A = this chain, B = another copy of it.
Amino acid sequence: MEYKRVSEEDIRFIQKIVSEDRISQGISNLNLHSVDQSHHKPSLPELVIWPIEEEEVSKIVSYANERLIPVTAWGAGTSLEGNSIPVYGGIVLDFSMMNKILQIREEDFQADVQPGVIYQDLNHKLRHKGLFFPPDPGARASIGGMIGNNASGIRSIRYGSTRENVLRLKVVLANGQIIEVGKNTQKSSSGYDLLRLFVGSEGTLGIVVEATVRLRGIPEYFSACLASFRDIYSASEAVFQIIKAGLEPTCLEIMDSRCVEVVNRINGLNLRQLHTLIIEFDGSSKEAVKDSVDICEQICRELKCEEFISGVERDEYKRIIDARHLLGESMRKYHPARVHTVTDVAVPISKFPELILFSEGLTKNIKVPAYIFGHAGEGNLHLAFMVKEQDAEEWKLVDEIKDRVTDMAIELGGTCTGEHGVGIGKRKYMKKEHGNSLFWMKKIKELFDPNGILNPAKIFP
């Protein structure tokens, strides 16, 4: 695709749509929108615009479509796979000023939000109503970005990914048309499911300008546990056995001993430096929560866990979860001269121990710092590396391991990305994972965005 550069004439046109203080060509603003939290190569946009109304978005996108200028939507820049990097320059639409919570309908467990709302801010506002929006990717992500990447996190094992927690979207298409998809009802069989087509499409099919999200009640009772193991395979086997037993944890995370070392040092925790499961149960009954914890403890002890701590205090647990959320950041602090890169594969839960064993085997004796962690209860494994930026040999080794682990996950019936999205880094796995259905994804892209202006160079190899 041949794109046009943003010209003086384009800027004059856009100035008629958006007030001047919400348009920038300043280098610091361009820099801020050139890279997300990934290791991918930065690429400068030519223009950053902060829309405040859907009509502005519509007019800008429609104009850009005619002029063949790329448009990339920007939430909070917290993506991990280059998903929001403006690879071909053009316009970045930064949604941080479209951050209103439009309506909370607690009686329907729904909220209408603009895409720039940070999900923690929504949850903060909901707290005193006893409600929350469950997807929890950790970083201060915008809900628009979460929709783009179908983000999830530690609670998705219980409440699903963003896809399962969005009911309705208002979307600006490449031609500038504004459409609504989905319904404010719990169920519908009315026509094709365009809603879930847009969720996870990484801004390549349309740009979300409003969303109705699903809320849940904050459970009354809660219990958090830590189980530490000397060998990581047993830890992963415990994960499988917990799920197989039919337990429904709200959180079931794995961190290898190296991750524990990082959070102890950087986040001031005091965990035993062993392979650790973080486990949480909640519910409306104290007994049910206790029963789950008991079964869980039994499983871990049978697998020779070194220690099982139940009844972790709420404050302590919050510190642990916060540290878990900050793990990527903490690794960066721990290895200041190195760059972070991470896999995001997911497999059927019965294959998780095999995947863990394979990953450990590949990383055990390498000189690059490597970390195994993830949303274990969903079979979602993050294998992170801290690489010397200029060291081609290290990159070669790491890329090879990442490829092997991802290939293995796909062969086990899994996916190259459980929650980070494809972005730039996972395009190369798409053919292997999707076979001939990738062709139909491309066709859908061409249908909605024939000029390819929306977030180009993403998803497709």
Contact = CB atoms under 8 A, between A and B. Distances in A.
Interface of A: 105-110, 130, 149-152, 156-157, 160-161, 163-164, 173, 177, 179-181, 183-194, 196-197, 199-201, 205, 217, 240, 243-244, 246, 283-288, 291-292, 344, 346-350, 378-380, 413-422, 426, 429-430, 433-438, 440-441, 443-445, 447-448, 459
Contacts of A346: 183, 185-188
A200 B196 contact: no
B417 A189 contact: yes
A32 B344 CA distance: 50
29 contacts: A107-B240, A107-B244, A108-B348, A108-B350, A150-B193, A152-B187, A161-B189, A173-B440, A179-B435, A180-B437, A183-B346, A185-B378, A185-B379, A185-B418, A186-B346, A187-B346, A187-B380, A187-B418, A189-B200, A189-B418, A190-B415, A190-B430, A192-B197, A192-B201, A194-B440, A196-B196, A246-B284, A283-B283, A284-B292
B157 A441 contact: no
A402 to B, nearest CB: 15
A379 B448 contact: no
A277 B422 CA distance: 47
A184 to B, nearest CB: 4
Given A283-B288, A430-B190, A440 B179 contact: yes
Contacts of A417: 188-190
Given A152-B189, A192-B200, 18 more contacts: A130-B246, A179-B435, A179-B436, A185-B378, A186-B346, A187-B415, A189-B200, A189-B415, A189-B417, A189-B420, A190-B416, A191-B430, A192-B445, A194-B440, A194-B441, A283-B288, A285-B291, A444-B447
A190 B201 CA distance: 9
